[in-house]
Amino acid sequence: MKPCVTVSLVGEARGGPFIFWDDLAGACASAQELGFAAIELFPPSAAAVDQPLLRELLAKHQLRLASLGTGAGWVKHKLTLTSNHPETRNRALDFIKRMMDVAANFEAAVIVGSMQGRFDQEVSRSAALNHLGAALTSLADYAKEKKVVLLYEHLNRYETNLLNRIEEVVPFLAPFNGRVKILADLFHMGIEEANLADALRLGGSLIGHVHLADSNRRPAGLGHTDFSPIFKALREISYEGFVSAEALPYPDSFTAARLTIEAFRKHAAP
């Protein structure tokens, strides 16, 4: 397992659960100082990523780009993969595919989370799930072409009403034969799962990325989540990917990052 930390460049998401904000260079410097292996970047769009600068900063601070988040597609542009309007769904697909174009240049994964949308009066649950399945099929094909990993993040019931638990996600992703991996966010899972460790075991080899936050979405150690059985389960499923701090920058960004890396080192070791 490798420690990672989130960096958001999306102004519309300010106040959300990201450790570092706005200052990419400063975030990379802090990540290296604290011992993180990678950053997870949330840009406003693919076009907004200054790739030469990002490559320079990653090399300077001996970091990898673990993944690109696509949340701005919803927060900033109001795009979802399950919209009742085909034009909106197509724009959402294009938004994510352009992120994949960038990710391919850094051997990074791409996350589909809030852009999955939800069902409502305009679109039924079955129709929304059909739209989501069709979108993931298209994205999985493109991910294979670009040689990037596609991550599907199931959210809690307050953010989507489609798929909320790993026991629902595993059969939904089964037809993709491992081409779409699960992003297991411990905050969302803490709301929905009866037992986080058992849920991770159920996910098994489909677990492709982990978001680390405590029960209150503050950094690990500032809530009531017991991380020992969670990391034990990750070791049992031979998880070797990134564990990324996606938590509120409490009490400040640097302290939140420091608390996260301390928790990671405490629990990730055998």
Secondary structure of 162-200 in the HEC alphabet?
CCCCHHHHHHHHHHHCCCEEEEEEHHHHHHHCCCHHHHH
Yes or no: is domain 154-249+259-270 CATH 3.40.50.720? no
Q: What is the CATH number of domain 39-116+127-148?
A: 3.20.20.150
pLDDT of residue 135: 97
pTM value is 0.96
Residue 24 one-letter amino acid = L
Residue 154 phi/psi, 5-degree rounding, is -80, 135
- The domain ranges of the chain are 39-116+127-148, 154-249+259-270
- Helix axis angle, 86-104 relative to 125-146, nearest 10°? 30
The string of pLDDT tens digits covering residues 69-103 is 999 999 999 999 999 999 999 999 999 999 999 99
Q: Answer yes or no: are the C-beta atoms of 193 and 185 closer than 8 Å.
A: no
Question: Residues of the chain whose pLDDT is less than 50?
Answer: none
